[in-house]
């Protein structure tokens, strides 16, 4: 694809091209292929069920562990496809996207409609704006000091680098996605209930099949459920929490309490980090780390994101927060990004 390059001063103080102009430059990358989408779904679901079958059929604990990792990876890959479907970027057919999204969200136990409202509207509409975006929102020093002791402990653990999984499990999946209270989502609709019931039925069948296989083969039902469901689901929570965290958290990335300052900062570029993974890892996660291009234009499908990101960085050189992933960078990030001073725009420790 050839994209006309906009002129943009690379100096950090220079104004960025408008979001409209940037999106127009990336229009060629919004082309969608139903055949590609369906192929990805068939391949990833086949591997997901193959992992479950390996856990159920093989009694060797090392095989079960390897199969558990396969299930985990496929939960993530299927979720990323569903994430695209929820953005209406997977195929050109709106109704098809809705049903494919529900289908591929099942292994991650993600209710489609609740994810759509929370992610598409709140997160994408108000990225890193406190009071609107609700994912990984940092407390101020004053707010943190007023929290109950247990909640302070949880926040310390969430942001320690070891507790991301628990953050997603409690603060996002349990509170916002799985049969959430009216207080947590601002109302109840039949679509929310239907999608929650749908993922619940899938979970029951998934766990039940592992138990049934154990009974038929004389294996331990607890071991089957551990490797075939519980461990992959916990690892999935860790992965998605980590991905969301590094997408929008960095010592150089700001959060905002003032909507005017937030809008002026052009958060579709400034509040989104491009993480460069080594080797095949980016492709393994369906290019979800090519995140600035996705935040700029949600209609770009995952199978075009890598090229779209490359084109975007050519248009606005030196203006995107690029990070090559390393443990050193990650340790620096989690050590510095604990609380946020909304007056000075600086991260600080506990």
User: What confidence tens digit (pLDDT) does each residue in 70-94 have?
Assistant: 999 999 999 999 999 999 999 999 9
- What pLDDT score was predicted for residue 187? 67
- What pLDDT score was predicted for residue 155? 97
238, part of any domain: yes
Domain count, the chain: 1
208, part of any domain: yes
Q: How far is CA 325 from CA 29, 224, 285, 329, in A?
A: 25, 34, 14, 7
pLDDT digits over 16-42, tens only? 788 889 999 999 999 999 999 999 999
Instruction: Locate 94 and state its tokens.
Output: 């709106």
Return the half-sphere exposure (C-beta side, CA atoms, 13 A cut-off) of residue 159.
26
Q: Residue 10: is its pLDDT beyond 60?
A: no
- 26 in Cβ contact with 308 (< 8 Å): yes
- What pLDDT score was predicted for residue 14? 62
Q: Which of 231, 235, 206, 211 is nearest to 221 (CA)?
A: 211
- What pLDDT score was predicted for residue 12? 52
Q: Residue 327: is its pLDDT beyond 50?
A: yes
- 225 in Cβ contact with 312 (< 8 Å): no
In this prediction, residue 330 has a pLDDT band, given cuts at 50, 70 and 90, of very high
8, part of any domain: no
Domain interval for residue 167: 19-348
9, part of any domain: no
Mean pLDDT across the chain: 92
Least trusted range by pLDDT, from 129-143, 176-190, 228-242 = 176-190
Secondary structure (DSSP) of 48-116: HHHHHHHHHH---HHHHHHHHHHHHHHHHHHHHHHHHHHTT-SSS-HHHHHHHHHHHHGGGT--HHHHI
In this prediction, residue 7 has a pLDDT band, given cuts at 50, 70 and 90, of very low
Q: Residue 62: is its pLDDT beyond 80?
A: yes
Task: Work out the percent of the chain whose per-residue pLDDT is above 90.
Answer: 82
93, part of any domain: yes
- What pLDDT score was predicted for residue 181? 84
pLDDT digits over 243-274, tens only? 999 999 999 999 999 999 999 988 888 899 99
What is the spatial distance between Cα 350 and Cα 338, in angstroms, rounded to a whole number? 6
- What pLDDT score was predicted for residue 5? 46
pLDDT digits over 156-208, tens only? 999 999 999 999 999 999 999 999 988 777 766 777 999 999 999 999 999 99
Q: Which of 206, 211, 272, 198 is nearest to 236 (CA)?
A: 206
- What pLDDT score was predicted for residue 8? 45
- What pLDDT score was predicted for residue 278? 79
Verdict on whether the full-model pTM lies above 0.85: yes
231, part of any domain: yes
7, part of any domain: no
Residues in Cβ contact with 71 at an 8 Å cutoff, skipping those fewer than 6 apart: 48, 51, 52, 55, 107, 228, 232
300, part of any domain: yes
DSSP 129: B
Q: Residue 127: is its pLDDT beyond 60?
A: yes
Secondary structure (DSSP) of 215-277: HHHT--HHHHHIIIIIHHHHHHHHHHHHHHHHHH--TT---BS-HHHHHHT-HHHHT-EEEE-
What crossing angle do the helices spanning 190-217 and 94-105 adopt, rounded to 10°? 40
- 301 in Cβ contact with 92 (< 8 Å): no
In this prediction, residue 154 has a pLDDT band, given cuts at 50, 70 and 90, of very high
- What pLDDT score was predicted for residue 4? 44
């Amino acid at each position: 694809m050839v994209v006309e390059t906009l002129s943009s001063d690379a100096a950090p103080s220079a104004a960025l091209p408008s979001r409209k102009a940037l999106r127009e430059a990336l229009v060629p990358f919004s082309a969608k292929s139903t055949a590609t989408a369906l192929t990805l779904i068939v391949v990833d679901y086949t591997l997901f069920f193959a992992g479950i079958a390996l856990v159920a059929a093989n009694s060797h604990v090392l095989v079960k562990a390897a199969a558990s990792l396969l299930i985990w990876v496929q939960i993530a890959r299927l979720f990323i496809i569903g994430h695209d479907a929820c953005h209406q970027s997977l195929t050109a057919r709106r109704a098809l996207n809705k049903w494919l999204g529900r289908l591929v969200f099942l292994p991650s136990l993600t209710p489609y409609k609740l994810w759509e409202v929370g992610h598409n509207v709140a997160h994408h509409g108000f990225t890193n704006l406190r009071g609107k975006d609700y994912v990984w929102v940092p407390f101020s020093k004053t707010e943190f000091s007023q929290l109950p002791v247990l909640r302070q402990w949880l926040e310390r653990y969430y942001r320690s680098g070891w507790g991301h999984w628990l953050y997603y499990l409690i603060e996002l999946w349990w509170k916002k996605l799985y049969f959430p209270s009216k207080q947590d989502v601002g109302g109840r609709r039949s679509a929310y209930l239907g999608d929650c019931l749908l993922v619940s039925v899938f979970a029951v069948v998934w766990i039940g099949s592992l138990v049934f296989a154990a009974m038929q083969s004389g294996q331990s039902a607890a071991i089957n459920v551990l490797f075939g469901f519980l461990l992959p689901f916990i690892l999935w929570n860790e992965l998605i929490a980590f991905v969301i965290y590094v997408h929008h958290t960095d010592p150089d990335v700001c959060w905002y309490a003032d909507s005017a300052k937030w809008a002026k900062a052009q958060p579709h570029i400034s509040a989104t980090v491009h993480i460069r993974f080594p080797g095949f890892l980016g492709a393994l996660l369906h290019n979800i780390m090519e995140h600035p291009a996705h935040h700029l234009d949600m209609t770009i499908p995952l199978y075009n994101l890598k090229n779209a990101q490359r084109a975007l960085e050519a248009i606005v050189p030196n203006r995107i927060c690029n990070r090559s992933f390393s443990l050193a960078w990650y340790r620096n990030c989690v050590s510095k990004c604990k609380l946020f001073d909304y007056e000075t725009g600086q991260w600080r420790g506990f």
